[in-house]
Structure formats: structure tokens, C-alpha cells
Amino acid sequence: MAVAIRKNKTLRSLDMESNNLTHDGEENGGVEEMIHALCQNTTLLSLNVGNNKLDEGIGRMFVDCLNQNHSLIDFEFGFNNFRLEDIRRLQDLLRRNKAEYDAARLKEWRERKMMREEDHALQKHYLEKETRVEQANMEEEAKSTREREIDKMWKAMQLEDAEEKKRTILQLMEAADIRGTKGKKKKGRKGKGKKKK
């Protein structure tokens, strides 16, 4: 268990209640090794070693351990032979750890909330920017469409003016031809009259 506590980075809870960890108080070496490993562990949150006939020396070792370990917040050690002052000290250290744990979780929650708000604000900003770009594109397209329509109308008017000019020129030419023909006819009559005389 000491090796597991020292190496394992995912274990959050360990229950060893009523497991006769010291062979009826004759062998403390395994528990002591586990306590040394617990000093370095930063992931275990809950430990139960209740009803294992642990003596006062083990109780003092747990106090020393929790002076170093700030991650353990739930520690069940009832029905062992710990001194009253060690029990009170363990409870104080557990309260300290719980307060630090709660403060860290609150800080994480606030950071996550702030990140969500920043993500929401960023998303809103990008959405507004995309809307502005889309609106600008639509306005540019509408402007281009109007310009094409105006250009088309202008070309149609120019073509109509050109046709009108052609018709006017043809009419003028026809009128000139008609005048020219009438003038020749008059000259021819005068000549004929003179010959008759």
C-alpha cells in the first residue's frame, strides 16, 4: 500500500478499516512506511484506517504526516489508541486542509466561470464582426448590382440615342433628297418655257 500511495497519481480514496494492519499491534513497519508515503502524496483525499489497533506512536506519526500533507481532507481513524491531543491536532489539520481545498475549488470555479464569460464575450465579438462583414459584403454587392443596372441603363440610353441620331440623319437625308429633287424639277420647267418662246 505504501508503494501504491507513493506512485499512484489517480487514487482519491482508500478504505482500510478493520484490516488488522499491525497484526494485533505487533508489527508497525508497514503502517509507518505507508505514513511516510502519505507525506509525499498529493492526490489522496480520503483515508480510512479505523479499527486497526493503531497505537499512540502511529497517531503521532499521522500528526507529523498531516503537517506536511495538505491534500488529505477526510481521515477516519476512530477505534484506535491515539492520544486525545493528537486527535485534536489531526482534526485541526484536517480542517486546515479542507479550507485550503475549498478555497482552491472556489478559485478554479471562478477561473472557469471567467473563462466561460471570456469565451462568450469572444464568441459574441466574432459573431458581431461576422455580421458586420456580412452586412458590408451585402451592401457592396447591392452597390455593385446598382452600378451594373445604372451602367446597363446608360448603355441602353446611349444605344437609343445612337438609333435616334441615325433616324434623324436618315430623315434629314431624305428631306434633303426630296428638296434636291424638287429643285431639279423647277429648273427643268423654266428651261422648257424659255425654249418655247
What's the CATH code, domain 2-105? 3.80.10.10
Q: 87-136, pLDDT tens digit by residue?
A: 999 999 999 999 999 999 999 999 999 999 999 999 999 999 999 999 99
| Cβ pair 37, 9 in contact under 8 A | no
How far is it, in rounded angstroms, from Cα 72 to Cα 176? 117
| Average pLDDT of the residues in 151-179 | 90
**180: confidence class by pLDDT, cuts 50, 70, 90:** confident
Strands 74-76 and 13-15: unpaired
Residue 153 pLDDT? 93
**186: confidence class by pLDDT, cuts 50, 70, 90:** low
Measuring CA to CA, which residue among 36, 50, 38 is closest to residue 8?
38
pTM over 0.85: no
